[in-house]
Structure 1
Amino acid sequence: MSTGLAAVLFVVSLAGTLGAAAVFADRLDHLGARLGLPEGMLGLLTAAGADAPELATAIVALVTGAKSTGFGVVVGSNVFNLGAMIGVSALLYGGVHLRRDALALEGGVALAVTVVTLLLVFGAIPAWAAVVLALAVVVPYAVVAFRRELEERHHPQHVGSGSLLLIPPAVAVIVLGSIGMVHTGLQLGRAAGLPDVLIGTLVLAVVTSLPNAYTGVRLGLAGRGSALVSETLNSNTINLVGGLVIPALFVSVSATGGLAKADAVWLLAATAVAIGLLAPRRGMRRVGGAMLVVSWIAFAAVQGIAG
């Protein structure tokens, strides 16, 4: 395939994936409204919908043997999400605030799953142990969150069931578009002399995270801090579990290069910093948002220099 044709197919695959992801997230939002789910659960549903391009792209890369690219997509997407969703929202809206008990729950789960993933990619624990540990964190969280959300459940809205029929074809387009992006993105990146991990961490990670960034900023500008933080941290947790931990049962996801290991540590540090900046009673202010945005810019700069 020529480079020009690969570029065209990459743009077409990207457009199809992002468009389908927007439809998928919107339909899930409608489903949440139909069920009368509150902010935290809506954030989880939105995260699942907006996460589809990142997750599908990472899995496709791992399955096709582009391990460094798949690893880069997950880690790069998660660092980008913290800056583009929470950081930008704090800058534009003036701050991000949520209840401290909600932050303790969401943040604790995000940190724990990140630590488990770090141990996995560093080769400190086997894949089966990582899956067990991740489930030991995620399952109790899901039970607690579900019970809490039922107590806060809103009055359901009437939403036509016909609109939900768009979900299956949207998922199909997301998967096919992700396959196209991985293959053409790798060809274009290699033609430009970029290492696979850099293609995943900067190029594919950013473009597949755009649906998350859009929905996150939309929630932030509406002053829905709880849903925003829930979407961001749950999105990152879904990426780690679905994009690295579970696939590790079938393919190797170990970080082999120094840059990949440094990226994993950076993600853990960025997650801890984001939670710390959200912890004060007034939540995160503009200064904190700027710190998260600068953190991602520094992360991208390191990738470019090291790559």
Structure 2
Amino acid sequence: MNIIDIVLLLVGFVLLVKGADIFVEGASDLATKLKVPAMIIGLTVVAFGTSAPEASVSITSALTNSNAIAISNILGSNVFNLLLVIGATALIYKINIQEVSIKQDFPILLVSGILLLLFIITGHVISRFEGILFLILIIAYVTYLIMKAKKESKNMPVGTTHLSNIRIILYIILGLAFIIFGGDLVVDASRNIALGLGMSETLVGLTIVSIGTSLPELITSVTAAYNKQTEIALGNAIGSCLFNILFIVGLTTSITPIITTNIMVIDTIIMLIVIVITYLLAYDRDFDKKDGIIMLTLFIIYMIYIIIRN
């Protein structure tokens, strides 16, 4: 490990965060002009935009045969999104939970996690067929959300935007460019750092990379909480987790099948436990400060376990 790798890692993270910020701003304005409700924006545009760093890192890792980072990044990011992002947001402002999230969004996330576990433990590889199945599921889910949004937004007034059509397009293109280039830097630098410190790629993927690529979700949700836009904050966290599993794993394994390990099985089970805990806490129809403290405490315990285990 040398100072250059550390600098490149930091530069990569900065590009990821800034790229996601620009992308989300442009995409959010686009969604507003299309009259898409706040929760739908959080579940789709914002969630997908803030998860673009995970997509870039995982796909790049798979293409360079760093399978451990590709999957560990997804699993670590989902734990980060559910425990730290929602937990920190709940500490700032109480998140009211709509009935649709209890009956639809959380169950779909849980089923997606169970499917991922089944794919990992059967055949010791996530195949192209399974990846394509994930892609079909995310396309079907997004299509359903768009159709639902169209019905709900017929009588909604067009929201105000501050970007012109040309600037919206430029923000989206520039944001994606930063995200892709930043993802390349993060993967290369983190692998070198892992080798230099004698760390496993799994540890790096679950900690440094997953936290770094999840910073856009944290920043976006916390900002939304400050502005009392809790529907966007919650939709961002849940949507990002769904995007991570269905789209990123789906696209990654469609490009190159990923050989799985026993550690991946354990980490997927941990992710499922976190999903269930979050789901149970959500049954009170809100995430308050008490729930936030519980989530942040669990996240600290999780990080200690990951570091000690590796």
TM-score (norm 2): 0.90
Of stretches 267-276 and 163-172 in structure 1, the one that deviates more from structure 2 is: 163-172
Task: Report 1:1-307 matches (<5 A).
Answer: 3-43=2-42, 44-93=44-93, 95-123=94-122, 127=127, 130-131=130-131, 133-134=133-134, 137-153=137-153, 154-156=156-158, 157-158=160-161, 159-164=163-168, 165-257=170-262, 259-281=263-285, 283-307=286-310
Equivalent-residue separation in structure 1 for 2:137 and 2:59 (angstroms): 22
Distance in 2, Cα, partners of 1:244 & 1:141 = 16
**Residue identity in the other structure for 1:28:** A
Deviation of 1:76 after TM superposition, in Å, equals: 0.5
Q: How far 1:105 sits from its partner (Å)?
A: 1.2
Contact 2:81–2:214 (CA under 8 A) maintained in structure 1: yes
Match for 1:134: what amino acid?
Answer: F
Q: Map Cα deviations across residues 147-188 of structure 1 (whole Å, 9 max, x no partner).
A: 332233232235411212222122122111111110111101
Structure 2 residue matching 1:246: 3-state secondary structure: helix
Which residue identity lines up with residue 118 of structure 1 in the other structure? L
- TM-superposition CA deviations, 1:195-228 (whole Å, max 9, x none): 0000111001001110110101222333333322
| Local SS of the residue matching 2:198 | coil
Aligned-partner residue type, residue 203 of structure 1: I
TM-score (norm 1): 0.91
Q: Is the 8 A contact 1:40 1:226 kept in 2?
A: yes
- 2:176 and 2:157 mapped to 1: Cα distance? 28
CA distance in 2, matches of 1:135, 1:61: 19
Code of the residue aligned with 1:46 in structure 2: it is V
Post-superposition CA distance 1:5-39 (Å, at most 9, x none): 11222222221222111111111111112222111
What is the distance in 2 between the residues matched to 1:42 and 1:250?
Answer: 28
Matched to 2:173, the amino acid is P
Give the conservation status (yes or no) of the 8 Å contact 2:54–2:214. Answer: yes
Gaps of 5+ in 2: none
Q: Which runs of 4+ in 1 moved over 4 A?
A: none
Shift in Å, 1:135:
5.3
Amino acid at match of 2:74: V
Gapped runs of 5+ residues in structure 1?
Answer: none
Paired residues in the alignment total 303
Provide the aligned C-alpha RMSD in A. Answer: 2.0
- Structure 1 letter corresponding to 2:91: L
> C-alpha distance in 2, partners of 1:182/1:301?
23
Deviation at 1:252, TM superposition (A): 3.3
Task: Provide the secondary structure at the position in 1 that maps to 2:258.
Answer: coil
Contact 2:128 2:257 (8 Å CA) reproduced = no
Closer/same/farther in 2, CA of residues 8 and 218 from structure 1, 3 Å limit: same
Deviates most, 190-199 or 159-168: 159-168
